[in-house]
Structure 1
Amino acid sequence: MDRRSFVSDSLGSAAALAFRPADAVGSAHVVELREGLRSLYTLDDAYGGDAVRSLAVRHLRRISRVINTGTFSDAIGRQLQLLVGETAEHCAWLHYDADEQDTARRYWGQALATATMLQDDGLEILVLASLGMQAIHENRPREGYDLARAAHQRAVPLGSPTLLSLIAAREARALAGMRDHIGARKRLADAMRLAGHPGRGRPAPAWAAFHGQAELEFAQGLVNTEAGHHKAAVPFLRAALARQNKVYGRNRALYRLTLARGLARAGEVDEAAAEAVGSLEHLAEVESGRVMRRLTEVRDLLARADTRTARESVEALEVHIR
Structure 2
Amino acid sequence: MLPSPASTAPPANTAIRRLRGDRSPAEFAAAVRRAAREIGEQVSCDARYVGRLESGEIRCPNYAYERVFRHMFPGLTPADLGFAPRQAVRGRRTTAPPAAPLEPTYEESDVQRRAFMTGGPAAFATALLPQQRAAAPARAGAAEVAAVHDAVRQIRLHDDRHGGDGLYTQAAGALRGAYRLLDDTSHSAATGAGLASGAGELAISVGWLAHDSGRLPEARSHYAEALATARMAGDPALEVHAFCNTSFLARDAGRHREAVRAAQAAQVLARDLGSARLLSLLALREAGGLAGLGERRRCELALARAHTLFGHGAADADPGWMSFFGEAELAGLEAQAWSALGRPGRAAGAARHAVLLQDPHFVRNLALYQAELAINLHRAGSRAEAASVAGSARRLLPTLRSTRVHTMLTTL
Q: Give the shorter-chain TM-score range.
A: 0.7 to 0.9
Asked if 1:8 corresponds to 2:114, the answer is yes
C-alpha deviations, 1:5-55, integer Å up to 9, x for none? Answer: 321210220325647865642212211221121000001111111122112
The whole-number CA distance in structure 2 between the counterparts of 1:57 and 1:23 is 23
Look up the SS of the partner of 1:245 in the other structure: coil
The share of aligned pairs that are identical, in percent, is 33
How far residue 229 of structure 1 moved from its aligned partner, in angstroms, is: 1.9
Residues 10-19 or 179-188, more deviating? 10-19
Aligned amino acid, residue 213 of structure 1: E
Q: Kindly indicate whether structure 1 or structure 2 has the higher relative contact order, using CA contacts under 8 Å at least 6 residues apart.
A: 1
Look up the SS of the partner of 1:50 in the other structure: coil
Aligned amino acid, residue 15 of structure 1: A
The whole-number CA distance in structure 1 between the counterparts of 2:298 and 2:190 is 44
Residues 23-32 or 180-189, more deviating? 23-32
CA contact (8 A) 2:151 2:202 kept: no
Pairing 1:123-142 to 2, within 5 Å after superposition = 123-142=238-257
The whole-number CA distance in structure 2 between the counterparts of 1:198 and 1:247 is 23
Compare the two structures and name the one with the higher helix fraction: 1
- Name 2:381's counterpart in structure 1: 267
Look up the SS of the partner of 1:77 in the other structure: helix
The whole-number CA distance in structure 1 between the counterparts of 2:341 and 2:189 is 52
Look up the SS of the partner of 2:298 in the other structure: helix
C-alpha deviations, 1:245-286, integer Å up to 9, x for none? Answer: 234221111111111111111111111111112112221111
Look up the SS of the partner of 2:399 in the other structure: coil
- Name 1:76's counterpart in structure 2: 191
Aligned amino acid, residue 86 of structure 1: E
The whole-number CA distance in structure 2 between the counterparts of 1:118 and 1:284 is 41
How far residue 188 of structure 1 moved from its aligned partner, in angstroms, is: 0.7
CA contact (8 A) 1:257 1:275 kept: yes
Evaluate the alpha carbon distance shift between residue 143 and residue 23 of structure 1 in structure 2; reply closer, same or farther with a 3 A threshold.
closer
Aligned amino acid, residue 408 of structure 2: R
Evaluate the alpha carbon distance shift between residue 68 and residue 234 of structure 1 in structure 2; reply closer, same or farther with a 3 A threshold.
closer
Look up the SS of the partner of 1:51 in the other structure: coil
CA contact (8 A) 2:344 2:379 kept: yes
Alpha-carbon RMSD: 1.9
CA contact (8 A) 1:145 1:171 kept: yes
C-alpha deviations, 1:92-139, integer Å up to 9, x for none? Answer: 111111111111111111111111111110111111111111111122
The whole-number CA distance in structure 2 between the counterparts of 1:172 and 1:94 is 23
- Name 2:236's counterpart in structure 1: 121
Aligned amino acid, residue 275 of structure 1: V
Pairing 1:166-181 to 2, within 5 Å after superposition = 166-181=281-296
Pairing 1:242-321 to 2, within 5 Å after superposition = 242-298=356-412
The whole-number CA distance in structure 2 between the counterparts of 1:79 and 1:244 is 33
Pairing 1:115-264 to 2, within 5 Å after superposition = 115-199=230-314, 202-264=316-378
The whole-number CA distance in structure 2 between the counterparts of 1:69 and 1:225 is 48
Aligned residues: 297
Aligned amino acid, residue 155 of structure 2: L
Structure 2 unaligned residues grouped into runs of 5+: 1-104, 129-134
Runs of at least 4 residues off by over 6 Å: none
CA contact (8 A) 1:45 1:247 kept: no
How far residue 233 of structure 1 moved from its aligned partner, in angstroms, is: 1.9
The whole-number CA distance in structure 2 between the counterparts of 1:71 and 1:146 is 37
CA contact (8 A) 1:162 1:203 kept: no
Evaluate the alpha carbon distance shift between residue 187 and residue 70 of structure 1 in structure 2; reply closer, same or farther with a 3 A threshold.
same
The whole-number CA distance in structure 2 between the counterparts of 1:220 and 1:90 is 23
